[in-house]
Structure 1
Amino acid sequence: MTYLYIKSLHLIFVITWFAGLFYIPRLLVYQIEAHNKPEPDKSILLNQLKLMTKRLWTIITWPSAILATLFAIWLLILQPAWLQQSWMHVKLAFVVLLIIYHLKTGFIISELDRNVVKWTSNGMRLYNEGATLILFSVVFLVILKSALSWITGVIGLIVFALILMILFKIYKRYRSRQSE
């Protein structure tokens, strides 16, 4: 029974972690776009967006990342045989990518807090898809385990990434037409 509670808590905090990682880049897109607004709109928007970002990052995203990781370690202690399975090795590699993505997002947040804008809003929208790719990869990997062959998995991720990029380009064209 302990295993099921720990697994449930792990899943809950993974979901809230991803919720933060999905929404924060959207807030960063709005911050980047706010830098192009005239005053006083610029200051008002930036202050509000920075506050929203800081609260989401410090109250939800970081604690969720830590708790998801702690419950994951606890699950591995309860199920050490998973560490002998190749799907778990691949999953842990994706978790490392997720942690890198998380830390990079934090770095971008600190830059924007200092009003250093190195990203375009479209670049940040594209960056936001990184968490989506990691989520899809991990979910399919965990559900399918050994049934997921490397070839099928890699082809599936490439196709998914291409679809996302095509949809991104369509959305970019739609936005540019709307602004004309």
Structure 2
Amino acid sequence: MTYLHFKALHIIFVVSWFAGLFYMPRLLVYHTEAQSKIEAAREVLNEQFIKMEKLLWNAIMVPAMWMTLITGSIMIYITPGWLSQGWMHMKLTFVLGLIVYHFFTRKLILEIQKGHFRFSSIQLRLWNEVATIFLFSIVFLVVLKNSVDWIWGVLGLIAFAVMIMSAVRIVKKIREKKVSE
């Protein structure tokens, strides 16, 4: 296989991993919100959410993460010069952060499945957006490489994060307004 074959596979596995990283926190939001239902509905929903969370984690998220890391490592092996470039150091730092995000999400899954809901649905919605920030950071870094001044990159990332957090708060206010009407 050539470098381009591994690059294509890497992109496919990254997309699969991010699909799981976006969907799992959303499931946790719904699982948390289900706790306000009457007991009979709550029991059925809890059982269904646990089944969905286990399937998503075991069938998509974990295999996609490992295949992303394996294909990425092979690409670095094929092109070792990348390791001397600053953008690659930043990308690998973001990937490490994404792995931490992945496993912290796993911790949340296990807590929620045991009935320990320490975060509200709004906090979980915000948690869901952390993956979006990682995605934007990594993609812009890979595409633009060294053509972006780090200061502007950090400022852009902060501005993007503020926009996401503001959007979540606006949606929360709209939902609260609809409930009160």
Q: What TM-score range do you get, normalising by the shorter chain?
A: over 0.9
Alpha-carbon offset, residue 29 of structure 1: 0.2
Could you tell me which residue of structure 2 aligns to residue 90 of structure 1?
90
Could you tell me which residue of structure 2 aligns to residue 174 of structure 1?
174
Tell me the distance in 2 between the aligned counterparts of 1:54 and 1:165. 28
Tell me the distance in 2 between the aligned counterparts of 1:169 and 1:31. 20
Tell me the distance in 2 between the aligned counterparts of 1:117 and 1:161. 25
Q: How far does the alpha carbon of each residue in 1:22-63 deviate from its partner, in whole angstroms, 9 at most, with x for none?
A: 000000000111112111010011111111111011100110
Alpha-carbon offset, residue 165 of structure 1: 1.2
Could you tell me which residue of structure 2 aligns to residue 80 of structure 1?
80
Segments of 5+ residues of structure 2 without an aligned counterpart are none
Could you tell me which residue of structure 1 aligns to residue 116 of structure 2?
116
Tell me the distance in 1 between the aligned counterparts of 2:179 and 2:48. 24
Shifted more, 17-26 versus 163-172: the winner is 163-172
Tell me the distance in 2 between the aligned counterparts of 1:124 and 1:49. 15
Aligned residues: CA RMSD? 0.7
Shifted more, 57-66 versus 161-170: the winner is 161-170
In the alignment, residue 69 of structure 1 is paired with which amino acid? Answer: L
Tell me the distance in 1 between the aligned counterparts of 2:46 and 2:30. 8
In the alignment, residue 5 of structure 1 is paired with which amino acid? Answer: H
Alpha-carbon offset, residue 149 of structure 1: 1.1
Alpha-carbon offset, residue 179 of structure 1: 1.1
Could you tell me which residue of structure 2 aligns to residue 146 of structure 1?
146
Could you tell me which residue of structure 1 aligns to residue 126 of structure 2?
126
Tell me if 1:60 matches 2:50: no
Q: How far does the alpha carbon of each residue in 1:99-121 deviate from its partner, in whole angstroms, 9 at most, with x for none?
A: 00000000000101111111100
> Secondary structure of the equivalent of 1:40?
helix
Could you tell me which residue of structure 2 aligns to residue 29 of structure 1?
29
Could you tell me which residue of structure 1 aligns to residue 3 of structure 2?
3
Q: How far does the alpha carbon of each residue in 1:114-143 deviate from its partner, in whole angstroms, 9 at most, with x for none?
A: 111111000000001110000000000000
Q: How far does the alpha carbon of each residue in 1:69-90 deviate from its partner, in whole angstroms, 9 at most, with x for none?
A: 0000000000000000000000
TM-score by length of 1: 0.98
In the alignment, residue 58 of structure 2 is paired with which amino acid? Answer: T
Could you tell me which residue of structure 2 aligns to residue 13 of structure 1?
13
**4+ residue runs of structure 1 moved beyond 4 angstroms?**
none
Could you tell me which residue of structure 2 aligns to residue 42 of structure 1?
42
> Secondary structure of the equivalent of 2:119?
coil
In the alignment, residue 126 of structure 1 is paired with which amino acid? Answer: L
